Amino acid sequence: MKLATWNINSLTVRLPQVLDWLAASPVDVLALQELKLTDDKFPHAAFQAAGYASVCFGQKTYNGVALISKSPAQDVVRNIPGFDDDLARVISGTFALSTTDASASNVAAQDSVRVVGAYFPNGQEPGSDKFEYKLAWLQGLRAWLRTELVTHPRLVLMGDFNITFDDTDVWDPEGMRDQIHCTDEERYELGALIALGLADAHRLFPQAAKSYSWWDYRDFGFKRNHGMRIDHILISQALQPLARGCWIDKAPRKNERPSDHAPVVLELA
């Protein structure tokens, strides 16, 4: 089973790139962020023609998330239950762990994976109202996931986190010290998610130095590998023995008019 996350930075612009990538790199579940379209504009038919089911939670101009999958998502939940938010940032669904169970209308917890696809708030800058919203949102997510893990011990949280774990995830750690994505407050909240019993799947395996998932469009950021690793896949303790690999696929970042993010892929036994 393969799962992936990708901030596509406008599905309207980059639908052909997503379809091409799925054809070349098939996955069982793909979480998309920054759709930048409303639900009525979502291209369900295009994904269906490619052999994928889809559920979405869109929003005009900004945000928007979706789950693209080989088998339909079960028990779909939009946003964070118990956290009042008007922005389309989270979509969750349950998927059969093996393809033999993929047609089941009700998938048992022990035979399934709960996938939470999320577009974490950017936060703008430390001390701003948007930064305070980001911290509150992270705390709301953590409170909900604590209960979600009880019901769904096999859980994957993946998406654009807009947070780095530490200096290893930043091309210029001194220049970014205490800047957005790299503050102690944000990293504390990311660590609190890990403390729920989750693990950074990428770091479960040896990785090349300077492995990033996002590069600024400006100043030849991708060509110079001036990036950050802010797109993550966190997996619960029950899934960690099944993890077989996790990698960043930089190939789509070389496309004409690419997203500024690259897909991150997890393979489970």
Q: How confident is the model at residue 98 (pLDDT cuts 50, 70, 90)?
A: low
User: Can you give the pLDDT at residue 65?
Assistant: 98
How many Cα neighbours within 13 Å face the side chain of 106?
0
User: Can you give the pLDDT at residue 228?
Assistant: 98
Residue 107 has pLDDT above 70, yes or no: no
Distance (Å, rounded) from C-alpha 243 to C-alpha 205? 9
Average pLDDT, the chain: 95
Residue 86 has pLDDT above 90, yes or no: yes
Residue 159 has pLDDT above 80, yes or no: yes
User: Can you give the pLDDT at residue 143?
Assistant: 98
For strands 198-200 and 243-248, give the pairing: unpaired
Distance (Å, rounded) from C-alpha 127 to C-alpha 139? 17
**3-state SS of the chain?**
CEEEEEECCCHHHHHHHHHHHHHHCCCCEEEEECCCCCHHHCCHHHHHHCCCEEEEECCCCCCCEEEEECCCCEEEEECCCCCCCCCCCEEEEEEECCHHHCCCCCCCHHHEEEEEEEECCCCCCCCCHHHHHHHHHHHHHHHHHHHHHHHCCCEEEEEECCCCCCHHHECCCCCCCCCCCCCHHHHHHHHHHHCCCEEEHHHHCCCCCCCCCEECCHHHCCCCCCEECCEEEEEECCCHHHEEEEEECCHHHHCCCCCCECCEEEEEC
Residue 236 has pLDDT above 70, yes or no: yes
Residue-wise pLDDT for 167-186, tens only, equals 999 999 999 999 999 999 99
Mean pLDDT of 20-43: 98
User: Can you give the pLDDT at residue 110?
Assistant: 56
Mean pLDDT of 136-151: 98
User: Can you give the pLDDT at residue 111?
Assistant: 83
Residue 19 has pLDDT above 60, yes or no: yes
Active site residue 119: yes
Has domain 2-268 been given CATH number 3.60.21.10?
no
Distance (Å, rounded) from C-alpha 183 to C-alpha 130? 14
Q: How confident is the model at residue 18 (pLDDT cuts 50, 70, 90)?
A: very high
Residue 100 has pLDDT above 90, yes or no: no
**Which position among 119, 169, 212, 231 bears the catalytic label?**
119
Mean pLDDT of 243-250: 98
Residue 102 has pLDDT above 50, yes or no: no
User: Can you give the pLDDT at residue 97?
Assistant: 78
Residue 105 has pLDDT above 50, yes or no: no
Mean pLDDT of 190-214: 98
Residue 197 has pLDDT above 60, yes or no: yes
pTM beyond 0.85, yes or no: yes
**Which position among 28, 52, 160, 212 bears the catalytic label?**
160
